[in-house]
Structures are given as structure tokens and as C-alpha cells.
Homo-oligomer: A and B are copies of this chain.
Amino acid sequence: MSLGTVAIIGLGLQGGSIGLAVQEFLPGTRTTGYDLDPATRTRAAERGLVHQVCGTAAEAVSQADLVIFCVPPGVMGEAAAEVRGAIPSGALVSDVGSCKQSIAAALREALPDHTVIPAHPVAGTENSGPDAGFAHLFRNRWCIVTPPEQTDLVKLSELVAFWEALGANVEIMDARHHDLVLAVTSHLPHLIAYTIVGTASDLEDVTQSEVIKYSAGGFRDFTRIAASDPTMWRDVFLTNRDAVLTMLQRFTEDLTALQRAIRVGDSDTLFDHFARTRAIRRSIIEEGQDDSRPDFGRTDHENGGARG
């Protein structure tokens, strides 16, 4: 792998993690970066997220072999259009956006003369901004690369090697299928978590303080992903609308069936459904995609709450 310079546009959780990971795992590669927010640029420089934080996006991309857009899904096209004239003609363009069909279209429209190969590292936390990134975010996680049908295979293999160097396992997938898969493994879970946390905050007969106190009964698990960045998630639902609505329809049908089983006291249906769902967690743990310790390995009840 011989990427001389990687330019990162957007220095939040994803951009910052890529910058730190390149410095740790690809020490021969130079990193430049830009963020729209001056405060983020300052903080990025303090944390050393990239070798050089630039004052403009054009400056950041000017020497790049690979440009990665790490901005919210809704502004990918805009961010790309801004640097159209500044990206070297042979440079590869990619991104980390959570939806692939609409972002691929926006990037190609903004940069018609460049090779664009979108990607999506399935790795994140509930935090965002320049303090959220860390070099090991992508280790043992999947990165889905969604090349167009006709693509530059040398550049594709460079991008695959790049993500593998950062610790990720790479999978090549059609953008349309990506959007369907992520609708169920990521977008629908976020929508449901946002919904239930909203529902619980709005009750008249149960106070917010009761919801907080007794959240260890299960509710607190949902509050983590419902604390994710609102801009990003608004954009995700708007840019992957059809797949999300399809999956939501399935979910609603299944919920209605369980609701009916509760209402009529159909204990067999409930038991059978609840007995079926254990296996999938076992597989997730076996494949290293979750912590095997009970309760995700939380230690908050050991030490009086790791208050932070």
C-alpha cells in the first residue's frame, strides 16, 4: 500500500478516528484534514487528529491520493462540490456515510471526473465531535465498500487495503443491498430507540425522575443509541427512507402479533418467540461483534457508577 497523503473532510468521530488510526497503523502516510467548524479545527489540531489541520477544504485535499468525506449524510454533495477544482485528478474519492445509494449519487454528481468508491465502516459510538475519535474504532469491525459496477480495480484494492490496515474486515456489496441491510441492523434500531426514549419522557403518570431511577430494568440500553447525533440521524432517515419504511412495516406487523398474544393471554406464542431470539446473540458474540461479558461488561454497579 502506497498512499502518500490522505485528506479527511470532517473531523468528528469518524474523521478523527481515521486520522488517528492512519497515524498508528500506516506511519508512512501523511494526513491532512479540514472541518467547517473553526472550534473543531482548533481541537483537532490540539489532539493531533491529523498531521496538518488546514484552514480550507481546498488546501486539505490539494496533495491527496485519497480524499475521505466524513461529514453528515445530508451535506456530502455540498462538501464535495466545494473542492471540485482542488482535488488532484488521479486521487480516489471515498466517504464513510451510513447510507450508500444517495450519497454515492451526490458524490458522483459533485465530482464527475474522479473515481468515487463509497464505503461505510460499521463502527461507531454514541459520541460525536473532535473529542470522540480513537484509533482503534475500526478494529474487528466490518467496513462495507460499495463500488459502482464499472470501477477502477486498482483503486478499489487500494481502498480495501487501506481499511484492512486500519483493522477492519472489508466486504464488497451493492449499494442498494447495503441500504437494506443497514436499515435493519442500524437505522431501525436507532429509530425505535429514539421513539421509546421520547415516549418515556412524555408520560403524565410516570415522572422523568422515575424513568431515570429505574432505567436499569432495560430502558437504559436504549438511551445510549438515542443519545447519538441528531443531525446525522435526521439525514440517515431522509436519505434511506424507502428501506427504513420497509423494515419498519415488518417490525410493526411483528409487534402487533405480540401485542395480540399478550392481550389474549397466548402464552405459547410468547414463550416460543422469546426462546428463539437467544441464538442470534450467541452468534454475535461468537463472531466477536459484541462483548461476551454479562451486561456488556458494564461496571457501573461495582464502583458506585463510573460517573463522568
- Contact among B283, B290, B296, B307 with A297 in the assembled complex (CB-CB below 8 Å): B296
Copies in the complex: 2
Kindly supply a per-residue 1/0 record for chain A positions 149-184, scoring 1 wherever the CB is within 8 Å of any chain B CB and 0 otherwise: 000000000000000000000010000000011101
B220/A290 in contact, CB under 8 A: yes
Residue numbers in B under 8 Å from A220 (CB-CB): 281, 284, 289-290
Q: A251 CA to B255 CA in the complex, in Å? A: 11
Closest to A250 in B: B199
Q: Is A51 among interface residues, defined by CB-CB distance under 8 A?
A: no
Q: How far is the CB of A230 from chain B (nearest CB, A)?
A: 4
Q: A139 CA to B303 CA in the complex, in Å? A: 8
Consensus secondary structure, chain A interface: helix
A184/B206 in contact, CB under 8 A: yes
Kindly supply a per-residue 1/0 record for chain A positions 244-273, scoring 1 wherever the CB is within 8 Å of any chain B CB and 0 otherwise: 110110111011001100110101001101
Closest to A226 in B: B277
Residue numbers in B under 8 Å from A230 (CB-CB): 270-271, 274-275, 278
B300/A212 in contact, CB under 8 A: no
Kindly supply a per-residue 1/0 record for chain A positions 284-308, scoring 1 wherever the CB is within 8 Å of any chain B CB and 0 otherwise: 1111111111111111111011111
Interface residues of A in 168-208 (CB under 8 A from B): 171, 180-182, 184-203, 205-206, 208
Q: Is A125 among interface residues, defined by CB-CB distance under 8 A?
A: yes
Q: Is A42 among interface residues, defined by CB-CB distance under 8 A?
A: no
Q: Is A1 among interface residues, defined by CB-CB distance under 8 A?
A: no
Closest to A189 in B: B218
B293/A122 in contact, CB under 8 A: no
Residue numbers in B under 8 Å from A219 (CB-CB): 184-186, 189
Q: A51 CA to B6 CA in the complex, in Å? A: 63
A185/B200 in contact, CB under 8 A: yes
Residue numbers in B under 8 Å from A275 (CB-CB): 230
Closest to A138 in B: B301
Residue numbers in B under 8 Å from A233 (CB-CB): 270, 274
Knowing A196-B188, A210-B181, A307-B286 are in contact, say whether A301-B238 is a contact too (CB < 8 A): no
**Chain A contacts to B: CB under 8 angstroms:** 98, 122-127, 132, 136-142, 144, 171, 180-182, 184-203, 205-206, 208, 210-228, 230-231, 233-234, 237-238, 241, 244-245, 247-248, 250-252, 254-255, 258-259, 262-263, 265, 267, 270-271, 273-278, 280-302, 304-308
Task: Pick the 4 closest A-B CB pairs, nearest first.
Answer: A288-B305, A186-B217, A292-B308, A230-B274
7 A/B residue pairs, CB under 8 Å, sorted by A = A182-B214, A185-B211, A186-B219, A191-B255, A215-B290, A226-B278, A248-B255
Contacts beyond the supplied A185-B218, A289-B300: 13 A-B pairs with Cβ under 8 Å: A124-B216, A137-B301, A139-B301, A142-B213, A181-B206, A194-B273, A197-B280, A197-B281, A201-B277, A234-B274, A241-B263, A248-B255, A292-B308
